[in-house]
Amino acid sequence: MPEPNTVKPPRSDRQPLAGERSIPGHARRGVDPAAGPAVSIRGLTKSYRHPWTQKVTRGLEPLTLDVHRGEVFGYLGPNGAGKTTTLKILTGLLKPTGGTAMILGEPIERVSSRARIGFLPEQPYFYDSLNGLEYLEFVARLSGMPGRDATRAARAWLAKVGLGERERQVLRKYSKGMLQRLGLAAAMVHEPELLILDEPMSGLDPFGRRDVRDLILEQRERGTTVLFSSHILPDVEALCDRVAILLEGKLERVATVGDLIDGTAPVVEVHVEGARVFEIPPRLAPVIERSDAGGSTALRLREPERLQELLGWLLSERIAVNSVTPVRPSLEQLFMAAAERSAFQAQSERRPA
Amino acid sequence: MIALLVAQNTFREVVRDRVLMGLVIGGLVLLAVTRIASPLAMGEGLRLTVDLGLSSISWLGLLVVLTVGTALVSKEIDRRTIFNLLSRPLPRPFYLFGKWLGLTVALATVAAILGSVLWLVVALLGHGHYAGSIAEAVYLATLELAVINSLAVMFSALSTPLLSALYTLGFFLGGQWCGDLRRLASHCPDGLKVMLESAANVLPNLPLFNMRTLAAAGELTSWTHLGLASAYAALYCACVLSLAAAAFESRDFK
């Protein structure tokens, strides 16, 4: 079972965002690591039974996971991996089949556990007949804010997400990007201690993605815990203290982004002049991956300690070396590798001995 | 308190729906038609106006319940707007109660508007003293709509809008005949008698809310009747909404 890692302190070097306004009660929140994890999941499972055939499908294998207070936690996985299932169980929209989960010290079965969380569902939908201000007031009051505070916070958040000019416009006239921003404002309007965001960047243009990234960073700076799922790995890499990789309902790995990358075998890429016809000697072939593109050839060496051997051989063959670059695998490559490994394991398990 | 927020939002949503406005206009047109047709009633024009005016409140209200009420919860599930509500500290039974209350208040508002217009028409004909009987009949019609609405909300929470509308209509029609069902049961052998009596007990006793004939004659009903009908409506709605809440509590929203 993956062990929770230590919490990185929230970044404090961030400059205020352009046009950022102060919101009532929007002060930095202290993070007390001794207060226990923000989210604590133990053996959580979810199965679905087909109403006619009674066939049971596992949506989530026993999941054990901690999200520490004050961290930004990325929840990764391909479609159908169980990310949304987990987030919906935490927010009370799905009932778990087994296991337990606590949010900020309260069991998820208690409705009151949802008072301190803000949730953005994937592709959020809204009441067409309400306007932006009415909607935010409504959800703020549902989360326990008194009427006047709800109105003030709703106005401030509309301005913050760039919808201040449209507070009286009915939501059916909002664009997709505007609705996504409204959804984020709705998740944050009551100043929650834990934000749960399901694909917050989906459907947004690059500017919208940047704004969401800035909002998440700002929330982290305030001490808010952020748990979010995403397919957009560069965003996860840029934002997260730790990530969990979920594949086919099973937790594959939990680690800091740095640990994930450091834990992989380093690779050195050697670029040589021209796509010359040459044969890699058999002693080096198993550790080299060759790709010819345009006028150059790239040799990816999976064992960097054999670099001298490779360079010696290239010199002896009079092949001109253009560059030698240590390559840092991206989170995307690690994710894809994990997915392939999991698929291979699943295939091996299915194959008869 | 939190259920009132849901009720307020539901009311706002329903009032802004064009269906409701269309039905109010339809009701006013129906009232106008009864006045135009009254010379054909051979001296019973006033009775016809009051009777048809009160009937239009009940039938148009039923239409609102069947079109709006039966989709009240299922539409929120289909359109996923429910995710934004139930992920907040809102207990599911309070959500259902709020949805029911919001539509019931909207129905009561429509009934009050149409009832007031009916009284105005009758008063202009020189029969202002019908105010009491019209008010009582409108009150009872509202109770009837509240009862049917509770069934619509229950079915809406558990089924599709089309099936919910069919079930609700079935309960409405069965409820209109529940007195006949009881009379039929008294003439049946024991096994069938128990079955029919059980069905009559489960179906809403809708004739209890019908005083259109009395009101058309300008007569008042007794306070006992009003009290009994109010208590019955409250109890029936509470039972139906409790059943709905129990089933809704374990529902998954994928």
Q: What local confidence, expressed as pLDDT, does residue A249 receive?
A: 84
For residues A174 and A204, state if they share a domain. Answer: yes
Q: Is B158 on the interface with A (CB under 8 A)?
A: no
Give the least confident one: A22-26, B45-49, B113-117, B151-155: A22-26
Enumerate residues 66 to 105 of chain B having a beta carbon within 8 A of any beta carbon in chain A. 79-81, 83-91
Q: How far is A280 from chain B (nearest CA, A)?
A: 54
Domain boundary (A220, A237, A256) is at A256
Is A332 within the bounds of a domain? Answer: no
Q: What local confidence, expressed as pLDDT, does residue A17 receive?
A: 35
* B89/A111 touch (CB, cutoff 8 Å), yes or no: yes
* A124/B84 touch (CB, cutoff 8 Å), yes or no: yes
Q: Which segments of chain A does DSSP mark as H helices, in order?
A: 83-90, 132-142, 147-160, 176-188, 206-221, 233-239, 257-262, 307-316, 331-350
* A138/B5 touch (CB, cutoff 8 Å), yes or no: yes
For residues A117 and A160, state if they share a domain. Answer: yes
The number of domains in chain A is: 2
Q: How far is B72 from chain A (nearest CA, A)?
A: 12
Is residue A340 predicted with pLDDT exceeding 60? yes
For residues A235 and A306, state if they share a domain. Answer: no
B91-108 tens-digit pLDDT:
999 999 999 999 999 999
Is residue B233 predicted with pLDDT exceeding 90? yes
Q: How far is A277 from chain B (nearest CA, A)?
A: 56
Is residue A350 predicted with pLDDT exceeding 70? no
* B83/A186 touch (CB, cutoff 8 Å), yes or no: no
Is A344 within the bounds of a domain? Answer: no
* ipTM of predicted assembly, 2 dp: 0.84
Mean of the per-residue pLDDT values of chain A: 81
For residues A243 and A279, state if they share a domain. Answer: no
Give the confidence band of B150 by pLDDT, cuts at 50, 70, 90.
very high
* A124/B250 touch (CB, cutoff 8 Å), yes or no: no
Residue A199 gets which letter from DSSP?
S
Is residue A349 predicted with pLDDT exceeding 70? no
Q: What local confidence, expressed as pLDDT, does residue A351 receive?
A: 58
Q: What pTM value is reported for the model?
A: 0.81
Residue B6 has a CB neighbour count (10 Å cut-off) of: 22
For residues A252 and A138, state if they share a domain. Answer: yes
For residues A250 and A273, state if they share a domain. Answer: no
Chain B residue with minimal CA distance to A196?
A: B87
- Structural domain containing residue A275: 267-327
Answer with the residue of higher pLDDT: A282 or A196. Answer: A196
| Nearest CB partner across the interface for B79, out of A119, A125, A141 | A125
Q: Which CATH number characterizes residue A153's domain?
A: 3.40.50.300
- Taking 3-state DSSP, the helix, strand and coil percentages for chain B, each rounded to the nearest 5, stand at 85, 0, 15
Give the confidence band of B235 by pLDDT, cuts at 50, 70, 90.
very high
Q: How many CA atoms lie within 13 A of A24 on its CB side?
A: 13
A211, A7 contact by CB (below 8 A): no
How far is it, in rounded angstroms, from Cα B191 to Cα B212? 36
- Give the pair of three-digit tokens for residue A254: 């939990």
For residues A172 and A278, state if they share a domain. Answer: no
For residues A281 and A136, state if they share a domain. Answer: no
Find the distance separating the first CA and the last CA of chain A, reported in whole Å.
27
- Give residue for tokens 């009240």: B72
A83-132 tens-digit pLDDT:
899 999 999 999 999 999 999 989 999 999 999 999 999 878 888 888 99
B159-181 tens-digit pLDDT:
888 999 999 999 999 998 888 88
For residues A134 and A208, state if they share a domain. Answer: yes
Give the confidence band of A233 by pLDDT, cuts at 50, 70, 90.
confident
How far is it, in rounded angstroms, from Cα A205 to Cα A202? 9
Give the confidence band of A331 by pLDDT, cuts at 50, 70, 90.
low
Residue B191 has a CB neighbour count (10 Å cut-off) of: 8
Q: Which letter, b or e, does each residue of A14-36 get, where b requires 16 or more Cβ atoms within 10 Å of its Cβ?
A: eeeeeeeeebeebeebebeeeee
For residues A277 and A321, state if they share a domain. Answer: yes
* A112/B89 touch (CB, cutoff 8 Å), yes or no: yes
* B87/A121 touch (CB, cutoff 8 Å), yes or no: yes
How far is it, in rounded angstroms, from Cα A132 to Cα A182? 7
Q: What local confidence, expressed as pLDDT, does residue A52 receive?
A: 82
Q: What local confidence, expressed as pLDDT, does residue A344 receive?
A: 67
Is A351 within the bounds of a domain? Answer: no
Chain A residue with minimal CA distance to B7?
A: A138
Residues of B whose CB is below 8 A from A125 = 79-81, 83-84
* A186/B84 touch (CB, cutoff 8 Å), yes or no: yes
Q: Is B129 on the interface with A (CB under 8 A)?
A: no
Q: Is B62 helix (H, G, I), strand (E, B) or coil?
A: helix
How far is it, in rounded angstroms, from Cα B58 to Cα B43? 25
- Best residue in A79, A94, A138, A142 to probe B by mutation, most B CBs within 10 Å? A142
Give the least confident one: B21-25, B110-114, B116-120: B21-25
Domain boundary (A235, A256, A277) is at A256
**Backbone φ, ψ for residue B102 (5° rounding):** -60, -45
Residues of B whose CB is below 8 A from A189 = none
Question: Could you write out the DSSP letters of every residue in A48-103?
Answer: EE-TTT--EEEEEEEEEEEE-TT-EEEEE--TTSSHHHHHHHHTTSS--SEEEEEE
A260-273 tens-digit pLDDT:
766 666 778 888 87
Q: Is B198 on the interface with A (CB under 8 A)?
A: no
How far is it, in rounded angstroms, from Cα B142 to Cα B211? 12
Q: How far is B82 from chain A (nearest CA, A)?
A: 9
What residues does each domain of chain B span? Answer: 2-249
Q: What local confidence, expressed as pLDDT, does residue A274 receive?
A: 65
Give the confidence band of A19 by pLDDT, cuts at 50, 70, 90.
very low
How far is it, in rounded angstroms, from Cα B74 to Cα A297? 60
* B90/A111 touch (CB, cutoff 8 Å), yes or no: yes
* A93/B9 touch (CB, cutoff 8 Å), yes or no: no
Q: Packing angle between helix A132-142 and helix A176-188, nearest 10 degrees?
A: 30
Is residue A194 predicted with pLDDT exceeding 50? yes
A128-185 tens-digit pLDDT:
888 999 999 999 999 989 888 999 999 999 998 888 888 888 888 888 888 888 999 9
Chain pair A-B, CB pairs under 8 angstroms: 78
Q: What local confidence, expressed as pLDDT, does residue A23 receive?
A: 46
| Nearest CB partner across the interface for B87, out of A92, A112, A127 | A92
For residues A48 and A193, state if they share a domain. Answer: yes
Is A262 within the bounds of a domain? Answer: no
Q: What local confidence, expressed as pLDDT, does residue B147 receive?
A: 96
- Give the pair of three-digit tokens for residue B176: 């209109």
* B87/A117 touch (CB, cutoff 8 Å), yes or no: yes
Q: How many CA atoms lie within 13 A of B116 on its CB side?
A: 7
| Nearest CB partner across the interface for A126, out of B81, B89, B254 | B81
How far is it, in rounded angstroms, from Cα A228 to Cα A195? 8
A31-79 tens-digit pLDDT:
565 678 899 999 999 988 887 888 888 888 899 999 999 899 998 888 8
Answer with the residue of higher pLDDT: A209 or B103. Answer: B103
Q: Residue A267: CB partners within 8 Å, gap ≥ 6? A: A300, A301, A302, A304, A326, A327, A329
For residues A82 and A135, state if they share a domain. Answer: yes
